[in-house]
């Protein structure tokens, strides 16, 4: 899965890259109100609308604002102003609601709960004592995707420079997700600049290889200024 603006920027520099997507499914994510055509790639391409709010998703569904070209919807729920406070406080309930509404309208629901949801004041499940965010995320069962979810994005990018920590956290999250939904696809998130720190191609490829066989794919967070690294990473996946 990759955002449309990043994919366009990469393809603008490397037109032949489109052919390397053969034999795979690519979710091209775009903000829900954007209606640009999805870039053409080899393989299967699924247009994916990004939502940071269940309320906004429900409103768009009710108003018929989602185009027929959308195949999937991504719920990017985090501790930020883009997600309503009530949703931040009870993420599991809203993720289940999001998934069920998506399925009812023929859309594939993709869930991407951030680790920082355990820091929300008054949340149904908050971080305890000396726990780090990953430990609290697992204890709070945020990876426990419900039976309606098609995919879960595990926001692992902050740990990608430490392969052992990266894999261990992802293994726990994947195990938790599949316990509630054996058919869910688990995607590990990689970033060209986690927390603003530029990542090398070696770092990204090492992290990706460490979870070979553990995940079904990757969600890529790409800065436009890192297009060369992103291009090399996408080619390495081939």
Q: Closest by alpha carbon to 167, among 118, 134, 131, 126?
A: 134
pLDDT of residue 35: 65
Model pTM? 0.95
* 83-113 pLDDT tens trace: 999 999 999 999 999 999 999 999 999 999 9
Residue 135 dihedral angles phi and psi, to the nearest 5°: -65, -45
Strands (E), the chain: 2-3, 25-31, 44-51, 70-75, 108-111, 151-154, 185-191, 217-221
pLDDT of residue 45: 94
Mean pLDDT of 216-223: 96
Mind listing the pLDDT tens digit for each residue in 162-198?
999 999 999 999 999 999 899 999 999 999 999 999 9
Q: CATH topology for 2-237?
A: TIM Barrel (3.20.20)
**pLDDT confidence of residue 34:** 67
pLDDT for 31 = 86
Q: Residue 32 — pLDDT band, cuts 50, 70, 90?
A: confident
CA 76 to each of CA 1, 18, 163, 213: distance values in angstroms, whole numbers, following the listed order: 13, 26, 25, 25
pLDDT of residue 146: 82
pLDDT tens digits, 34-64: 667 788 899 999 999 999 999 999 999 999 9
pLDDT digit string (tens) for 116-155? 999 999 999 999 999 999 999 999 999 997 889 999 999 9
Domain ranges of the chain: 2-237
């Amino acid at each position: 899965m990759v955002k449309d603006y990043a994919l366009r920027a990469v393809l603008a520099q490397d037109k032949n890259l489109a052919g390397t997507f053969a034999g795979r499914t690519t979710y091209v994510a775009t903000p829900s109100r954007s209606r640009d055509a999805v870039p053409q790639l080899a393989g299967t391409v699924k247009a994916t609308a990004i939502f940071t709010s269940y309320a906004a998703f429900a409103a768009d569904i009710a108003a018929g604002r989602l185009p027929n070209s959308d195949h999937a919807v991504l719920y990017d729920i985090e501790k930020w102003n883009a997600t309503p406070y009530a949703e931040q406080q009870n993420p599991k309930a809203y993720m289940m609601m999001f998934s069920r509404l998506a399925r009812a309208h023929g859309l594939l629901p993709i869930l991407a709960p951030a680790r920082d949801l355990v820091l929300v004041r008054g949340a149904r499940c908050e971080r305890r004592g000396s726990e780090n965010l990953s430990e609290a995320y697992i204890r709070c069962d945020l990876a426990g995707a419900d039976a309606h979810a098609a995919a879960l994005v595990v926001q692992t990018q902050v740990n990608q420079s430490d392969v052992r920590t990266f894999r261990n956290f992802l293994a726990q999250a994947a195990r938790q997700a599949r316990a509630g939904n054996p058919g869910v696809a688990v995607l590990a998130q990689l970033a060209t600049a986690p927390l603003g720190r530029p990542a090398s191609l070696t770092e990204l490829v090492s992290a990706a290889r460490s979870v070979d066989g553990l995940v079904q794919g990757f969600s890529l967070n790409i800065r436009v200024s890192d297009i060369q690294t992103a291009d090399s990473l996408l080619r390495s996946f081939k």
